[in-house]
Amino acid sequence: MNVSTENNPLPGKICVSIGGNDVDDTLAAALEVEEDADVIEIRLDGLTKPEIEPFIERIKTPLLFTNRPDWEGGLWCDDETKRLALLKQVISVHGAYVDIELRTEQILRREIINLAAKNKSKTIVSWHDFQTTPSAAQLEHILQEQIESGADIGKIVTMAHDYADVLRVLSLQTMAHENDFSLIAFCMGEAGRISRLATLDLGGYMTYAAPESGKSTAPGQLSVSTLHHLLNRLHHEN
């Protein structure tokens, strides 16, 4: 379900992010969006009793597992060792992607990245700001850290308050391209909605959408049907 077509090639992917507190309900929601997604994100931090195997066994679409800590806007409030143990479990069963925060202690982050590389799982090293968008210099510094981290893909997502915030984040694709580094970069909030669409045309590795049924996992997230509709309008109509 990659959004590229023969006439309008887009390299980017659509990831549908699934949040919930019950494994069975989350699995059901993931199964509903399989045909609409290139990647499905399972938010382990929202699950009361996180499990990996039910998703790996039932879902054919590539899976991204995220266990977002509260200090990065997520719901995980427990021990860091336990949090990362779940990501290691994902890697051990060859999950397609794991998300590890740039702010994770460096030695622990490196352990996840190295383990994933050995088991053919891709790592997304992520950085989020739910309040504002840093300066261009700060954003470039964050991206440089991600490039040097050894991860396969970077992710930088900020809260946009105006078009200038959006432009600063989207322009990071130039630096990523110059360094041959895959980057996910867009903005949250009302002002950032357009970036969730535009990032794919600007070389972004992936954008995120919400399922039709269920809550969005970030402010300003579009439903997957809306995202597909807008992409079709842009790339399939004369």
- Cα torsion 52, 54, 57, 62 to 10°: value is -60
Q: Is 180 helix (H, G, I), strand (E, B) or coil?
A: coil
Q: Is position 120 annotated as part of the catalytic site? A: no
Q: Whose CA is closest to 111, among 85, 72, 133?
A: 85
- Cβ(227)–Cβ(16) under 8 Å? no
- Cβ(185)–Cβ(210) under 8 Å? no
Q: Is position 215 annotated as part of the catalytic site? A: no
Q: Given the residues 128, 141, 161, 215, select the one marked as catalytic.
A: 128
Q: Is 32 helix (H, G, I), strand (E, B) or coil?
A: helix
Q: Given the residues 155, 161, 215, 229, select the one marked as catalytic.
A: 155
Q: Is 185 exposed, middle or buried (0-12, 13-18, 19+ CB in 10 A)?
A: buried
- Cβ(40)–Cβ(64) under 8 Å? yes
Rounded CA separation 160/194 (Å):
11
**232 Cβ neighbours under 8 A, 6+ residues apart:** none
In which order are the strands placed within the sheet that holds 39-43?
182-188, 153-159, 122-129, 97-101, 63-66, 39-43, 13-18, 206-209
Q: What tokens were used for 9?
A: 């090639």
Active site residues: 128, 155
